[in-house]
Amino acid sequence: MKYLIISLSVILLNLPSSLNACTGLSLKAKDGAYVQARTIEWGSSDLPSEYVIIPRGQQITSYTPTGVNGAAFQTKYGVVGLAIMRKEFIAEGLNEAGLSAGLFY
Domains of the chain, residue spans: 1-41, 43-105
Q: Which of 48, 63, 105, 83 is nearest to 93 (CA)?
A: 83
Q: Cα 91 to chain center, whole Å?
A: 6
- Ramachandran angles phi, psi of 48, nearest 5°: -65, 135
Name the 3-class secondary structure at 9. helix
C-beta pairs of 96-102 under 8 Å, 24+ apart in sequence:
96/56, 100/36, 102/22, 102/24, 102/38
State the pTM of this model.
Answer: 0.62
Count of Cβ atoms closer than 10 Å to residue 60 Cβ: 14
Q: Which residues of the chain have pLDDT under 50?
A: none
Residue 37 confidence (pLDDT) = 80
